[in-house]
Amino acid sequence: MTDSNFSKEQEKTIALAGILQSCYSVDRIAQTGQCDQATLTVLMESVLQTDPASILDVYKDLTHLKEGLALLNQLLNTGSQTRSHTVRYALAIMHLQRKLNKRSDFLQEISKRLSSAQVQVQHFGAAHENVIFNLAGIYSDTVSTFAMRIQVAGHAQHLQVDLNAAKIRALFLAAIRSSMLWRQLGGHRWQFIVNKRKLVTTSQSLLDRLN
């Protein structure tokens, strides 16, 4: 998968920002009960892009990944632990995605059920609650069955709302999808150390496109 508008390093950085953007949206729901609706739509649509021809087929444009790109740049450039919940979720997602990649039965189940979700999207739209509950169910029945589970920190009055809980699970599935894309593009955790400077430069160049 390549795109003439982006280098391979940029594509990899965009996928990494996709992980962080999904996890940041989880944190917003847990803390405030809200997240940006347009961003939610883009992230839900990203889950359903199972055979993209380019990075923009997955995320449409960079606008809705701006927070993820900014957070990535900030973390790498300063080492700041600002928004530590988001970072913790992202690291957990990378670990869970590696475990998922070894479960062909789960991968087949996810693929089958995403086909059903794609039909729903044609009728309701990607951010409709029927679709969100469907995607949340996929996450619950597969990734969430691993011994390691992500503990979401937030306020009970938000977390106990059924739709919010479903959005969180669906967003974690979106983060898993971005993590899969990141690894398919050659992403590895050691690059945070070895290629840190390159990631900083690349994320900043992508942010500059949005300013």
Number of domains into which the chain is organized: 1
b/e burial code for range 139-160 (CB count within 10 A of at least 16 → b): beebbbeeeeebebebeeebbe
| Rounded average pLDDT over 80-108 | 89
Within a domain: 190: yes
pLDDT recorded at residue 78: 65
Which CATH number belongs to the domain containing residue 32 in this structure?
A: 1.10.3890.10
**47 falls in which pLDDT band (50, 70, 90)?**
very high
Full domain range(s) for residue 166 = 8-210
Within a domain: 3: no
pTM of the model: 0.93
Q: Which residue has the higher pLDDT, 150 or 195?
A: 150
CA 32 to chain centre: 19
**200 falls in which pLDDT band (50, 70, 90)?**
confident
Within a domain: 117: yes
Within a domain: 1: no
Within a domain: 167: yes
pLDDT recorded at residue 1: 47
Is-contact 175 22, C-beta < 8 A?
yes
Helices 129-141 and 104-124, axial angle in degrees (round to 10): 180
Within a domain: 66: yes
